[in-house]
Structure 1
Amino acid sequence: MLSIKNKIALLVALAATGAVSIFTIGSQSLKSNTTLVSELKNSYYPIMSSATLNNAILSQLSERFNLSVTLGDSELLLLNKETFSQLTKNFDKQKQLQPSLAQPINSLQTLAKQYFDASYDIAYRMIEGTIDLSSAADLAAKNTQILETLTERMAQFEQQRSDEFESLVVTLENENNSARSTMLTIGSAALILIALFGFVVVHGIRKDLANISSKMKDIAEGDGDLTVRLVHNKKDELSELADSFNNFVQQLQMNINATIENVNGLGGIAST
């Protein structure tokens, strides 16, 4: 049987265990969320934004090549060189952010360079009037096919990066909800256990105290029967109280008996 002190210690330990469990889960969730947020901020979002920008750059390159031929403006070709350089830098940045994507990015980069070189050559020769008109249509058709393939693949790449970003955001939200739910469950369970155990402990102590108090009252208000003893079978602090009271009553009984014997002895002497 646990003592009152041990029962209280167990109650405190139960509360501490619940608090530590909640703190541990919260810390793990925070650490995991910090990692995910860092990946979203430093990797996935920049790549997604860069992929969107590259699609806009590709569209700009195509329009500017067409416009340079229509206007016969070679300066637009030089401007496209700078624009294509930005496209290349974006591809390189994407590979730095996520080396695991190097293969598909290299494929896009190769196809983009193939399109740019062919478009630049066709546009330049048309502006200069040095292109063979009999082959110009075939070259333009092949280059258009390359552009369509490149546009489709870059759009797919952008969509994949967007899906990955959204998936991580959903994962982050799910982990937050899961951690919150787990902490709430553990906290609720701990509170219920603490309340139940606390009720049992307090009820037991009150019951034992009431029992001891009742017996002490019976002794005090009864016929002065000093042979009555408190009985408390539990090995706790109240058992010590009962033992102390019983020792007190026993000592009092012995003193009274001794006094009676002395009085009787004196009475016998006086009668002689």
Structure 2
Amino acid sequence: MKMKKYLSVGLAAVALLVLATGCGKNDETGVSAAGQTSEQERTTVKLGIIGADTDVWDSVQARLKDEGIDLEYVQFTDYSQPNTALASGDIDLNSFQHQFFLDNFNEEHETDLVSIGNTVNAPLGIYSEKISDIAELKEGDKVAIPNDVTNGGRALILLQSAGLLTVDEAKQQAPTVSDITDNPLNLEIVELDAAQTARALQDVTVSVINSGMAVDAGYIPANDAIYLEPVDEKSRPYVNIIATRAEDADNDIYQKIVAAYQTDETIKVIEETSKGSSIPAWETFGKK
């Protein structure tokens, strides 16, 4: 009888030891008894961007770490690539374009990519290494603009707002060079890939350069542009966005990324890194 009693006590002790040992390990969900997130629970999201400047996204990434989300940057060199990669599933999100550009891409390629959050409004600028004021432009001077439909049209509208030419109003936000109705100085419009507009400054009198390309080239748009795009209600189509595939629009992880971006902490980094050249769009135009 005593032996059976000792055996029962021994088995109970072993059971307690196993239970105690198990409590110190991660369970099947990957969460320890202390509530710490394990590596098994972490989610990596591939984010497509243009250029090398990741300062703003780095600040967002730091906040996402605590939620078990890791951003993997996939860097592209021109505007034709990130949406193609997103549509094919090679990346999960991208952040490089405005709404008008996305709408045009969807129409041309029969894709279904959508915006899930506004990021910044980055005014387009006119830059020059030869003159310091647009009033110095002369007859026949060369003007470089991006050659894609959306940014090219935006550039022509910018030149119109600067009083340099007039475009057909019927074309709304997508005029082309052939839609110029008045060009008093007979400016020679040179259409280039957006990535080449900054490099062309030695060969043209002025160049219309997207904000991100200008920053990558070492310019501070608010200081170095000789003319900067006005920011008003007409700027809404040019608000930069975070995009994904339509079927993933409500993905909880992606929504957390948008929420982590649209914060006061991000505003501070945007102001510091852009020197006031980029404007937090969710404050002016809404979160989405």
Q: What is the TM-score with the length of structure 1 in the denominator? A: 0.29
Structure number with greater Rg is 1
Which structure has the highest helix share of the two?
A: 1
Which structure has the highest strand share of the two?
A: 2
Q: What is the TM-score with the length of structure 2 in the denominator? A: 0.28
